[in-house]
Structure 1
């Protein structure tokens, strides 16, 4: 089967083109289709689905030897969402059958999900009508999330990436599911069970401002974890990942409209 007739997969991330997680995903997905590796030139974690006008949009094409295989890769000056735009509209000769974002070095559960560049790339693909996965591996040490760690084992996360990519390529996504968000515990194995979950109504990464001088001087916003089992629903992504130590698979929809009875609410408010 030629490259053009195999399923076309666009792979990106928010950790940058040199991330080991990106290449673990590339190798796993290459058994399913032809993989276009198109990732940010720089580390842009926490960029959400942003499209800042300051991005330069430069595309650098190169070939890298990864795992004994030569890959054509594209490093793009932009956020993950912008990389998806460039990948779909400029780089790929035809629209992809699937966009995969990850494997991110760091989990993305709960209400912090909209901050994630990993999820942002998948949201951008979904907005273009393309099925998407956003895959993240839990950190053992939250302070290392900006590092390209060679000692991190992405093999289990790669297994689940390929597992759900194959399912989506084969079956598509159900109605009102635009992307799947997958969070893998750092100590999971390919035999670890997975569970369909919902977003926890809890801010997973609690922001902390580190400032040592007056307001006019620079400050850093960092994050820490502060959640207990009783604060999150048992069927949520946070509970499943943190406390049950299972792989969390969360179907997400682009429709962020509240699931409230709109006619009843409108009638009540208009009677005030």
Structure 2
């Protein structure tokens, strides 16, 4: 259903920092509001603060921090999600992940969120792929509003990255990772004064506390495959493949730790792209 106009609000006096105010946690993603990954995040942190759950109304993988235009841009609807057996109000927004976050912060949040959690994404985000990622794009948009952000991604087959019929997984161990880092950041602040923590979770790992702080690899993790000869006047979607050049990787890089050591990679990110 459409939300009423009176739900839109500017930050109120309730936003004043106090010892008894629960942190406001903005939860978002790029896979869409109905993704099991966003529900897993909500279940992991539901008791740690007040939740504002917003996400694109459909699958928006690999949108980066883009702001494409459409006829339905900015339409916001209430969606009921089941979080630990309880109906919880969430909001679907017509637009890219970053656009959804902007609407969430500017129109739906009664206070500036204390933390943004983006994910859990279907598919890892490593190396030079980061600028393509809608999961990171949503986190970046939140951080542009001075909100610290965590981006969570889990390893899945390449063929599952763009699906709207979401594959079924057990999310128990991933929820533990989300919980661990949310508690840590709310209590201690961001690692190394980072703007965003990019957290990639392999298929198998020992525990949420077994992780490595990494640097972004200067290599592609996925690469496009050269197309066969084809008719240029007909549509064609480039195919991609996972490509790991172990000998070229820094052992402290996100790709090496994740793909070679099979450990959770936590990469502190900042905005400075200059040399």
Q: Which runs of 5+ in 2 are unaligned?
A: 1-13, 15-19
Match of 2:160 in 1: 144
1:249 is the counterpart of 2:266: yes
Q: Please say if residues 108 and 136 of structure 1, whose CA atoms lie closer than 8 Å, have aligned partners that are also in contact.
A: yes
Contact 2:191 2:268 in 1 (8 A): no
Q: 1:134 aligns with which of 151, 158, 162?
A: 151
Question: 1:191/1:116 Cα in 2 relative to 1: closer, same or farther (>3 Å)?
Answer: closer
Aligned partner of 1:11 in structure 2 is 27
Q: Identify which of 246, 263, 266 aligns with 1:229.
A: 246
Q: Deviations over 1:145-166 (max 9, x none)?
A: 1234342222222211111111
SS in 2 for 1:23: helix
Q: How does 1:75-224 map to 2 (within 5 A)?
A: 75-139=92-156, 141-147=157-163, 148-173=165-190, 176-190=193-207, 193-208=210-225, 210=227, 213-224=230-241
3-state SS in 1 of match to 2:239 = strand
TM-score (norm 2): 0.88
Between stretches 28-37 and 63-72, larger displacement belongs to 63-72
TM-score, structure 1 length as denominator? 0.89
Q: For the structure 1 residues 151 and 41, does the alpha-carbon distance in structure 2 shift closer, same or farther, using more than 3 Å as the test?
A: same
Per-residue CA deviation, residues 66-98 of structure 1 (Å, 9 max, x unaligned), is 431111010000111111101110011111000
Q: How many aligned positions are there? A: 256
- In the alignment, structure 1 segments of 5+ residues that lack a partner are 259-272
Contact 2:180 2:208 in 1 (8 A): no
Report if aligned partners of 1:8, 1:96 keep a CA contact under 8 Å in 2: yes
Aligned CA distance change for structure 1 residues 217 and 252 (closer, same or farther; 3 Å) = same
* C-alpha RMSD of the superposition: 2.0
